[in-house]
Structure 1
Amino acid sequence: MSESIAPLVLFDLDGTLLDSARDLHAAMQMLLAEKGEPAVDFTVFRPVVSKGARAMLKCSFANADEQQREALLPEFLAHYERALAAHSRLFDGVAEVLANIETQPSRWGIVTNKPYYLAEPLVEKLGWSQRTAILLGGDSLPRKKPDPDQLLHACAVLGVMPERVVYVGDDERDVQAANAAGMRSIAALWGYRPDDDDPLLWRADELAETPLELITRGLLRSR
């Protein structure tokens, strides 16, 4: 099992390694209150977190049009930046998975659509700055997931062929990017997902119900 881990395992961040929904929800609640809008229920908000900030705004400001929501984006991110690790926690089993990878001749890194200026201090607060082989944000390159550019760039920087890399993420865009890059793709079913989003349709190489399954089922092998 663990001895077959690929030389490089890349992960999405929010909804895959980190349960950050509470902090994002708190930031949104502050923004809604400032604008005189009713609060958004956490159970409604949580499933769209991995779809990105614009999806969170659309969920929360349902009566606003796209231009109005776009104008709110900087304020939402500013609220989040001020308290981006107050309630965020690793998903159960993530710490064990990362530790297991580090016992092997293998490395792990993070490729997220979260802006780098938010991802970098968050990774530092988690104590991962010296552990992760690479960190790429959604603004690190001109294009982000579902385009494969970030994943291919990580491979180029770290000197690993894409077919020897595994990418784990909880959104369809993660699977699309990994497949386009020629990597092994794993859909993280423990993350954030709307009820009408069927991961069986994503065409991932594997589905994992929990982080620990990545190890116990030997899913982190390369193609």
Structure 2
Amino acid sequence: MTEMFKGVTAIAFDLDGTLVDSVPDLTVACAESLQEQGLPRCSEASVRSWVGNGAEMLIRRALAWALDDQPSEMQVSEALSAFKRHYEANLTGNSRLYPGVSDTLTRLGERGYRLALITNKPYQFVPPLLESLGIDAHFEVVFGGDSLPEKKPSPLPLLHLCQQWQLPPQQLLMVGDSRNDVDAAHAAKAASVALTYGYNHGEPVEDSQPSLVLDNFETLLAYLPAKTEETIQND
């Protein structure tokens, strides 16, 4: 198992559905924004099937459900503005780390891996959420969905990270829970790990053909041994 990612020296993580279950707080913000538009409130189960492509797509899906039709751009703009306001006010109320996340991030850092966060969530929400969960110090670099001109499934965030860290993509591992993460890794020619417990619109994440599929976050440790200085230089 420890040979599978032998050349990897850096790991990029997705956030929602990978490190944290944020759907309870996203649901509150989404439901409140719909209610402001005079529309029915959505359920947590529905939001779980809508998340994964950034805030705007979440709102487009919520409006399409509530209207039983495609929303106008004005409706999207108004609902998105309301959503951001409500989400900022309810950012950390019920969001929780998945089991083993904090300890695993700590141990990966101790093993010599450089850690980054690449999420499609708007950047304004990311630092306060990471800080509230106590995992902000693990990441050298954090990209939100609006940090660069393109977001996942575009490979741009991964390639930009590789350029910033002066790494070939073959030394980067993308860890996420959805097709967006795996497709971005494929396009960047990086390895990928897909976690089965996250948000992938009801589609089995293994259908995206990641390098490895895991049911538990802490199992990553079995595939990522300590990186010695000599190993890093040889890679």
TM normalised by structure 1 equals: 0.89
SS of the residue corresponding to residue 51 of structure 1 reads coil
> Is 1:159 the equivalent of 2:161?
no
Partner of 1:128: 135
SS of the residue corresponding to residue 179 of structure 1 reads helix
Q: Is the 8 A contact 1:6 1:164 kept in 2?
A: yes
> Is 1:207 the equivalent of 2:209?
no
CA distance change for structure 1 residues 28 and 43 in 2, over 3 Å: closer, same or farther? Answer: same
2:175 and 2:11 mapped to 1: Cα distance?
8
Tell me whether 75-84 or 14-23 shows the greater mean CA deviation.
75-84
Match of 2:175 among 151, 168, 175: 168
Residue type of the alignment partner of 2:186: N
CA distance change for structure 1 residues 152 and 24 in 2, over 3 Å: closer, same or farther? Answer: same
2:177 and 2:83 mapped to 1: Cα distance?
23
In the TM superposition, residue 60 of structure 1 has moved relative to its aligned partner by: 2.7
Partner of 1:21: 23
Q: Equivalent residues in 2 for 1:78-89 (5 A)?
A: 78-89=85-96
Residue type of the alignment partner of 1:20: S
In the TM superposition, residue 126 of structure 1 has moved relative to its aligned partner by: 2.5
Runs of 4+ displaced beyond 4 Å: 1-5, 219-223
In the TM superposition, residue 5 of structure 1 has moved relative to its aligned partner by: 8.3
Match of 2:35 among 30, 33, 36: 33
1:28 and 1:178 mapped to 2: Cα distance?
29
Alpha-carbon RMSD: 2.4
Q: Is the 8 A contact 1:5 1:101 kept in 2?
A: no
1:220 and 1:83 mapped to 2: Cα distance?
38
CA distance change for structure 1 residues 220 and 156 in 2, over 3 Å: closer, same or farther? Answer: farther
Match of 1:182 among 186, 189, 199: 189
Q: Is the 8 A contact 1:206 1:219 kept in 2?
A: no
Q: Is the 8 A contact 1:169 1:188 kept in 2?
A: yes
> Is 1:71 the equivalent of 2:78?
yes
Residue type of the alignment partner of 2:15: L
Residue type of the alignment partner of 1:200: E
1:76 and 1:156 mapped to 2: Cα distance?
34
1:36 and 1:78 mapped to 2: Cα distance?
17
* Percent identical residues: 34
Could you report, residue by residue, the CA deviation over 1:33-69 in whole angstroms, capped at 9, with x for unpaired residues?
2223222121122122223323432443221533223
Structure showing greater Rg: 2
In the TM superposition, residue 220 of structure 1 has moved relative to its aligned partner by: 8.0
1:155 and 1:183 mapped to 2: Cα distance?
10
In the TM superposition, residue 163 of structure 1 has moved relative to its aligned partner by: 0.3
Q: Is the 8 A contact 1:178 1:184 kept in 2?
A: yes
Residue type of the alignment partner of 2:177: D
CA distance change for structure 1 residues 141 and 59 in 2, over 3 Å: closer, same or farther? Answer: closer
1:108 and 1:173 mapped to 2: Cα distance?
19
CA distance change for structure 1 residues 220 and 133 in 2, over 3 Å: closer, same or farther? Answer: farther
Residue type of the alignment partner of 1:135: V
Unaligned runs of 5+ in 1: none
